[in-house]
Copies of this chain bind each other. A is one copy, B any other.
């Protein structure tokens, strides 16, 4: 068992918001939504986001500057992330596919470089939009 992180107040507030959101949230949208809970400044949001990303509870969708709750229970996957992003409705879902993650981990081994993380983003049209 890995150490359980007990989240701080700000971290928990922000994680709760992200978890219950159906879409990726941007930092300033998060800020707006938690001001009634006493979080007033961007830095408070960014610090909580940094920590939540670090421990794998959330992921940053780099192409969108937005944050989504991890949809896998595994902590390890936070260093091996893959997402599918609809360019029409902006729906984002985390891909959990063991063949894909094995393939990419092995690919990393083959190359000269020592990898410790990857992030993959697929773009296209979701079922609703195509």
Contact = CB atoms under 8 A, between A and B. Distances in A.
A115 B122 contact: yes
The copy count of this chain in the complex is 2
Contacts of A38: none
Interface residues of A, number: 30
Contacts of A113: 84, 86, 122, 124-127, 130
Given A84-B113, A111-B84, A120 B123 contact: no
Interface in A24-71: 62-63
A111 B100 CA distance: 12
A119 interface: yes
Contacts of A116: 87, 123-125
Contact of A121 (B95, B100, B118, B130): B118
17 contacts: A62-B62, A84-B111, A84-B113, A86-B113, A87-B116, A95-B111, A104-B120, A108-B122, A108-B124, A113-B130, A114-B125, A114-B130, A115-B123, A116-B125, A118-B120, A119-B121, A120-B120
